[in-house]
């Protein structure tokens, strides 16, 4: 496990996903912006204490989001900063998401095993569980607040559709 974590850290550095000491991130227009927020993992998120499959089997009808990174990794701070935004935090909680996080800075066997199981070799890793399909989806390493809000919106629509037997609900009109 330690060898795998070391490999993950080295590969993240080689491919530019993580860079110690740098306090910038790439923007969609090819430039960079300073990251003022430098806190650690998102407040209120649970530690990833067991494999992701165990969370899905224990609560198959609840959406989940997992974020794996390291506090020294600038690219890990970007999603953690996004997840800490009030609108994102509120949307995830209102939609019933179970939010799980793992900081591999000082080693994290469960997270390292999950990264390996997913076939990934760079951080950050963000995955969501869709209870309507029973599947985990690895999300892009780079995303914005609007992207997360869209993930939540789509998940809420899928859950609403599932709750009415797989069909879209038709609103009742007065007078019909």
> Which CATH number fits the domain that encloses residue 91?
3.40.30.10
Could you write out the DSSP letters of every residue in 133-145? TTEEEEPPSS--H
What's the number of domains the chain is made of? 1
74 belongs to a structural domain = yes
Q: Considering only CA atoms, which of 52, 41, 55 is closest in space to residue 138?
A: 52
Residue 51 pLDDT: 96
26 belongs to a structural domain = no
68 belongs to a structural domain = yes
155 belongs to a structural domain = yes
**Calpha distance 14→31 (Å, rounded):** 20
117 belongs to a structural domain = yes
169 belongs to a structural domain = no
Residue 176 pLDDT: 35
Q: Which domain holds residue 123?
A: 2-18+37-163
**Calpha distance 153→156 (Å, rounded):** 5
**pLDDT tens profile 125-135:** 999 999 999 99
Q: Give the confidence band of 136 by pLDDT, cuts at 50, 70, 90.
A: very high
Determine the 3-state secondary structure of 110 from DSSP: helix
**Neighbouring-strand partners of residue 115:** none
29 belongs to a structural domain = no
Residue 114 pLDDT: 94
Q: What is the dihedral of CA 60, 154, 25, 74, to 10 degrees?
A: -10
Residue 109 pLDDT: 93
- Evaluate whether 64 touches 97 at the Cβ level (below 8 Å): yes
173 belongs to a structural domain = no
């Amino acid at each position: 496990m330690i060898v795998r974590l070391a490999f993950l850290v080295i590969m993240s550095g080689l491919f530019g996903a993580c860079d110690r000491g740098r306090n910038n991130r790439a923007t969609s227009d090819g430039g960079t912006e300073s990251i003022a927020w430098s806190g650690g993992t998102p407040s209120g998120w649970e530690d990833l204490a067991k494999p992701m499959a165990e969370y899905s089997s224990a609560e198959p009808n609840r959406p989940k989001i997992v974020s794996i990174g390291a506090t020294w990794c600038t690219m890990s701070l970007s999603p953690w900063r996004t997840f800490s935004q009030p609108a994102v935090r509120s949307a995830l909680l209102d939609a019933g998401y179970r939010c799980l996080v793992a900081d591999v800075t000082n080693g994290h066997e469960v997270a390292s095993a999950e990264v390996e199981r997913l076939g990934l070799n760079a951080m950050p890793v963000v995955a969501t569980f869709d209870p309507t399909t029973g599947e985990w989806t690895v999300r892009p390493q780079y995303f914005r607040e609007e992207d997360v809000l869209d993930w939540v919106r789509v998940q809420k629509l899928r859950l609403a559709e599932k709750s009415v037997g797989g069909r879209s609900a038709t609103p009742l009109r007065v007078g019909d």
